[in-house]
Amino acid sequence: MRKSRITALTAVALAMLSFFVAACGSSSDNGGRSDTKTTDAASLKGQTVTLWIMNNGPSPVKDTQSLVKPFEAQTGIRVNVQLVGWDVQQDRIRDAAVSGTGPDVTQAGTTQVPFFAALGGFENVGDKVSQIGGQSAYAPGIWKTSTIQGQDGTFGIPWFTEARTIYYRKDALRAAGVDPKTAFTSEAALEATLEKLKSVTKLGGESIAPFGGPGKKAYDLVHNMMPWVWDAGGAELNDDATKSTINSPQAVQGVKFATDLVGRGLWDKSMLERDGTQVENEFKGGRLAVFVGGPWVLQSAKRPEDDTWSSAARRNVAVAPMPGGTDGSKGSTFIGGSNLMVFKASRHKDAAWALIKYLSQDRVQTDYANLMGMFPARLKPQEELGSSDPDHQAFYAAIKDQGRSYAPIAQWAQVENAYKNAFGQILDQSAGKGGLSDADIQSGLDKAAKEADGLLAQSAG
Amino acid sequence: MTTQTPPIVHGEPGDAPATPPPPSARRSRRRGRNLAYWLIAPALVFMVLVHLIPTLGGLALSFKNINTFTFSRLFGAPWNGFHNYNAILFDDANPLHSGFVDAARNTLIYTAATVTGTLAGGLGIALLLARSFPGRRLVRTLMLAPYVVPSFVVATLWGFMWQSDSGIINKVLVDYLHLFHDRPTWLLGHNSLFAIIVPSIWRGIPLAMLIFLAGLETMPRELHEAAAIDGAGPWRRFRYITFPLLRPLIAVQLLFGVIYSAYQFTIPYVMLGSNPGSDADLIMTLIVRQSFSNNLIGFGAAASTLLMFVMLIWVAFWFRAFRRDLEMA
pLDDT exceeds 90 at position B64 = yes
Q: CA dihedral in degrees (B36, B41, B46, B49; nearest 10)?
A: 140
Greater pLDDT, A77 or A393: A77
Report helix, strand or coil for A397: helix
Write out chain A residues lying below 8 Å of B78, CB-based.
461
Whether the predicted pLDDT of A40 surpasses 70: no
Disruptive mutation site among A2, A9, A16, A246 for chain B (greatest number of B CBs within 10 Å): A16
pLDDT above 80: residue A293: yes
Could you give phi then psi for residue B249, rounded to 5 degrees? -70, -40
The answer to whether the CB of A339 falls within 8 A of the CB of A146 is: yes
Helix (H) or strand (E) holding A341: strand A333-342
Classify strands A209-211 and A206-207 as parallel, antiparallel or unpaired. Answer: unpaired
Number of H helices, E strands in chain A: 20, 13
Lowest mean pLDDT among A3-12, B170-179, B315-324: A3-12
Q: Which residues of A touch B192 (CB under 8 A)?
A: 428
Interchain contact, B37 vs A431, CB within 8 Å: no
Q: B1 CA to chain A: closest CA distance, Å? A: 6
Q: Is the pLDDT of residue A162 over 50?
A: yes
A-B C-beta contacts closer than 8 Å: 141
A432 → closest Cβ in B72, B185, B275:
B185
CB of B255 within 8 A of CB of B166?
no
DSSP strand E in A37-156: where? 48-53, 78-83, 105-109
Query: Does the pLDDT value for residue A389 go beyond 90?
Result: no
| pLDDT class of A294 with cuts at 50, 70, 90 | very high
Give yes or no for a contact between A458 and A411, defined as CB atoms under 8 angstroms apart: yes
Residue B254 has pLDDT above 60, yes or no: yes
Give which of B34, B50, B295, B299 to mutate to test A binding, by max A Cβ within 10 Å. B295
What pLDDT band is residue B23 in, cutting at 50, 70 and 90?
Answer: low
Average pLDDT for residues A13-42, to the nearest whole number? 42
Percent of chain A with pLDDT over 90: 68
When computed from its CA atoms, the radius of gyration of chain B, rounded to whole angstroms, is 26
pLDDT for position B20: 56
pLDDT score of A329: 77
Residue among A12, A115, A273 whose CB faces B41 most closely:
A12
Contact B183 A121 (CB under 8 A): no
Chain segment A411-422, per-residue pLDDT in tens: 998 899 899 999
**Residues composing chain A:** 461
**Residue B10, pLDDT above cutoff 80:** no
Q: Tell if the CB–CB gap between A428 and B279 is shorter than 8 Å.
A: yes
| Average pLDDT of span A31-38 | 38
User: Can you point out the beta strands (E) in A248-311?
Assistant: 288-293
pLDDT digits (tens, 9 = 90+) for A341-378: 999 999 999 999 999 999 999 999 999 998 888 999 99
Q: Whose CA is closest to B302, among B58, B43, B56?
A: B58
Q: Do B185 and A418 touch (CB under 8 A)?
A: no
Contacts of A427 in chain B (CB under 8 A): 188
Considering only residues B30 and A290, tell me which one the structure prediction assigns the higher pLDDT: A290
Chain B residue numbers with beta carbons less than 8 Å from the beta carbon of A12 are 41, 44-45, 48
